């Protein structure tokens, strides 16, 4: 393989990491604050994809603008879901069976709602950007993947900024570290959790819109991303947004480069293997390792 091919592959992996990070951020927020594994995440990815598709197909709204619009719309949907369902789950420091079952059920409901509204046809968004490739010398940058990568970087950067520079961010970090201690120092746990859940769903909806620019989708869209999102947040350390970026990068690099030496049919096994490896060797994820080293230093 030539150096150019290798470089193209590195770029493909980086851009894939962008896709993976974009779809995992929402799940991390919800887990970090509420210790809930949001199995309905895939359902909101699917709804986000259809939201952007409908805006494009009916009103010719550019998918990128659609993604931006998805954010506030899904934020309020998230608030609604929290008010109707999530606030009724007993709070816990660990994911509970109740929350898993409830959110799995919600995913099924969303999926079937999708079938009711849109039927079972595969949809896809085709714009001038879809197949456009930015060619810099011998290196190819697929435009849509670049956009998704940029959106992922902006999401993670923006979240880090919010977490470190705002009162809400400090409250979220306090809850991520120790909810009881957070409550003692005056954090409104209920309100913070509600907003965090809304944000998690908003990121899921926007990520769904971004994925719709890359893939064809139907109401069962999102399932294959759910496992990857879970692997990424476990690899990243469950509650760390910088960890999400690292987890996404590890998974994307592993998937892209392992195929050069392994048959492509082993690709799904790579995500599973990484999950098992992370749980056994690095249960606190990359962020946990980083924090440990930082403390030791």
Closest approach, Cβ 128 to other proteins, in A, equals 10
By CB under 8 A, is residue 161 in contact with other proteins?
A: no
First to last CA, the chain: 41
- CB atoms < 10 A from the CB of 93, how many? 9
CA 63/CA 55 separation, integer angstroms: 8
The residue among 35 and 145 lying less far from other proteins, judged by its C-beta, is 145
The residue among 75 and 107 lying less far from other proteins, judged by its C-beta, is 107
Instruction: Output DSSP code: residue 217.
Output: B
Contacts (Cβ under 8 Å, ≥6 apart) of 114? 43, 46, 47, 50, 218, 219, 220
Q: Which two tokens stand for residue 86?
A: 């999530």
Contacts (Cβ under 8 Å, ≥6 apart) of 267? 255, 258, 259
* Residue owning tokens 């210790």: 35
- CB atoms < 10 A from the CB of 121, how many? 8
Site for other proteins in 87-116 (CB under 8 A): 115
The residue among 193 and 251 lying less far from other proteins, judged by its C-beta, is 251
The residue among 13 and 29 lying less far from other proteins, judged by its C-beta, is 13
Closest approach, Cβ 253 to other proteins, in A, equals 10
Report the residue from 228, 233, 240, 241 that binds other proteins according to the rule CB under 8 A. 228
Site for other proteins in 240-279 (CB under 8 A): 252, 255-260, 263-265, 267-268
Encoded one letter per residue, x for contact with other proteins by CB under 8 A and - for no contact, window 123-152 reads -x-x---xx-x-x----x-x--x-------
The residue among 1 and 281 lying less far from other proteins, judged by its C-beta, is 1
């Amino acid at each position: 393989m030539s150096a150019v091919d290798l470089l193209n592959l590195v770029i493909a992996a980086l851009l894939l990491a962008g896709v993976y990070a974009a779809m995992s951020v929402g799940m991390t927020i919800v887990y970090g604050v509420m210790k809930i594994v949001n199995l309905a995440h895939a359902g909101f990815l699917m709804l986000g994809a259809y939201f952007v598709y409908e805006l494009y197909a009916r009103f010719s709204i550019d998918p990128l603008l659609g993604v931006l619009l998805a954010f506030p719309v899904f934020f309020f949907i998230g608030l609604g879901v929290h008010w109707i369902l999530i606030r009724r789950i007993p709070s816990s420091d660990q994911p509970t069976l109740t929350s898993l079952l409830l959110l799995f059920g919600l995913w099924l409901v969303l999926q079937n709602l999708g079938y009711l509204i849109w039927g079972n046809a595969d949809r896809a968004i085709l714009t001038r950007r879809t197949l456009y490739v930015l060619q810099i010398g011998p290196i190819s940058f697929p435009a849509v993947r670049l956009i998704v990568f940029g959106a992922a970087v902006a999401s993670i950067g923006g979240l880090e900024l919010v977490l470190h520079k705002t009162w809400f961010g400090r409250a979220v970090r306090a809850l991520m570290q120790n909810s009881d201690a957070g409550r003692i120092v005056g954090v409104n746990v209920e309100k913070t959790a509600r907003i965090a859940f809304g944000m998690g769903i908003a990121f899921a909806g926007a990520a769904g819109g971004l994925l719709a620019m890359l893939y064809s989708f139907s109401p069962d869209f999102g399932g294959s991303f759910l496992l990857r999102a879970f692997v990424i947040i476990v690899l990243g350390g469950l509650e760390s947004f910088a960890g999400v970026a690292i987890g996404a990068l590890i998974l994307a690099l592993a998937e892209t480069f392992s195929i050069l030496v392994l048959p492509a049919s082993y690709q799904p096994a790579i995500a599973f293997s990484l999950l098992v490896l992370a749980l056994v060797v690095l249960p606190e994820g990359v962020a946990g390792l980083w924090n440990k080293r930082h403390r030791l230093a």
